[in-house]
């Protein structure tokens, strides 16, 4: 056992569940974050049984709803003195256009904005750790990403393109945040786990889900959830990457990302837009104001 605690989003299935199991088996305390309270309870019982580790907590939260994310931040700050590792894993692809109750396009809200608001809200809790780490799960699909927008009209929506855009947002956010928290001890990295046999894309119907699986099967690249979780567990636990930050990993190797992902103007534009889309408080005394201050180049002290 060790005294480190890891928060995993999208922790009730797929890569997130496999990551949580691996880390709990290694003795880490694990906080499961997911939308469905029943699934969180079931996953928590499963992890305790399989790992023999009772340090399993849960935080119900729909990452597409920023009000719920802010409420989750309040609960997490109340319940935990520190969080050592934040794994922003949750993600989804929506082929059909949909808006959240807050007027945000569902793919952008789920895959990027929720993690943006969650991460900034937990920076102070992470800073209390010795060697805190943030891991953002992206995808090789980010190479196809382009303009990142909150698309309000169904006629302007392309589900596959918006998914690629959201995965590019994960990388842009990783690089921008790594720059801002430089000197604080927090490391920030992204990872592309590859094609994994999970329930991903099943919300779009069985045909689309099967097509997604068959694509990776045909390339002999379909991984089990445990295999897909390996690079996340590596980035969360290995001493080999203890001081590594601002990188994108495929497997256990840092590699180059798309040309656009290194565009600092694109990084800053996304940061400013995410502050606005996420409804981050910009009053002088608020944590949100301090985060926005960093978008002009200031570091966290």
Instruction: Specify the pLDDT at position 222.
Output: 52
How many CB atoms are closer than 10 A to CB 240? 10
Domains, the chain, in order of start with CATH, read: 5-194+225-290 (3.40.50.720)
Q: What is the pTM of this model?
A: 0.87
Position 225 scores a pLDDT of: 80
Cα 108 to Cα 148: distance, rounded to the nearest angstrom? 8
Q: Which of 28, 80, 157, 163 is catalytic?
A: 163
* Strand extents, DSSP E, the chain: 5-9, 29-34, 56-60, 85-88, 133-137, 187-192, 247-250, 253-255
Q: How many Cα atoms occupy the beta-carbon half-sphere of 283 within 13 Å? A: 3
Each residue's pLDDT, cut to its tens digit, for the chain (301 residues) gives 589 999 999 999 999 999 999 999 999 999 999 999 999 999 999 999 999 999 999 999 999 999 999 999 999 999 999 999 999 999 998 999 999 999 999 999 999 999 999 999 999 999 999 999 999 999 999 999 999 999 999 999 999 999 999 999 999 999 999 999 999 999 999 999 875 444 444 454 444 444 444 444 444 445 788 999 999 999 999 999 999 999 999 999 999 999 999 999 999 999 999 999 999 975 544 444 444 334 333 333 3
**Which residues lie below 8 Å from residue 293, measured CB to CB, with a gap of 6+?**
none
**Residues 86/38, Cβ–Cβ less than 8 Å:** no
Are 84 and 235 in contact by the 8 Å Cβ rule? The answer is no
Select from 85, 12, 1 the least CA-distant residue to 46. Answer: 12
- Interior/surface letters 116-148, b for 16+ CB within 10 angstroms, e for the rest: bbbbbbbbebbbebeebbbbbbbbbbbbebeeb
3-state secondary structure of 102: coil
- Structure token digits, residue 271: 């940061």
Q: Provide the token pair at 159.
A: 């589900």
Look up 157 and say whether it is catalytic. Answer: no
- Dihedral of CA atoms 114, 116, 118, 122 in degrees, nearest 10, equals 180
Which pLDDT score, from 0 to 100, does residue 282 have? 59
What is the structure's pLDDT at 195?
Answer: 56
User: Which pLDDT belongs to residue 2?
Assistant: 81
Q: Look-up: residue for tokens 């990993």?
A: 249
CA distance 177 to 200: 27
Helices (H), 34-184: 37-51, 66-79, 106-108, 114-127, 159-180
According to the model, what pLDDT value does residue 289 have?
Answer: 41
């Amino acid at each position: 056992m060790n005294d480190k605690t890891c928060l995993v989003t999208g922790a009730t299935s797929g890569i997130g569940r496999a990551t949580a199991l691996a880390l709990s088996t290694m003795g880490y305390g694990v906080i499961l974050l997911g939308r469905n309270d029943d699934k969180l309870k079931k996953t928590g019982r499963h992890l305790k049984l399989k790992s023999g580790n009772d340090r399993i907590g849960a935080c119900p939260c729909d990452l597409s709803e920023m009000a719920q994310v802010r409420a989750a931040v309040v609960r997490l700050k109340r319940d935990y003195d520190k969080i050592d590792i934040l794994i922003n894993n949750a993600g989804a692809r929506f082929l059909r256009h949909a808006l959240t109750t807050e007027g945000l396009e569902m793919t952008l809200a789920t895959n990027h904005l929720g993690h943006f608001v969650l991460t900034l809200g937990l920076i102070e809790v992470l800073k209390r750790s010795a060697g805190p780490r943030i891991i953002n799960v992206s995808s090789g699909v980010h190479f196809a990403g382009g303009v990142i927008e909150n698309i309000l009209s169904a006629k302007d929506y392309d589900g596959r393109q918006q998914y690629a855009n959201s995965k590019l947002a994960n990388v842009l956010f990783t690089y921008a945040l790594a720059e801002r928290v430089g000197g604080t001890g927090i490391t920030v990295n992204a990872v592309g786990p590859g094609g994994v046999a999970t329930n991903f894309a099943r919300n779009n119907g069985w045909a689309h889900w099967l097509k997604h699986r068959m694509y990776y099967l045909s390339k002999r690249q379909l991984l089990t959830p445990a295999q897909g979780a390996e690079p996340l567990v590596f980035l969360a636990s290995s001493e080999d990457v203890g001081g590594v930050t601002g990188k994108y990993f495929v497997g256990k190797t840092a590699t180059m990302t798309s040309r656009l992902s290194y565009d600092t103007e694109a990084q800053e534009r996304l940061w400013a837009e995410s502050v606005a889309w996420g409804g981050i408080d910009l009053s002088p005394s608020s944590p949100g104001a301090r985060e926005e201050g960093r978008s002009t180049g200031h570091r966290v002290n």
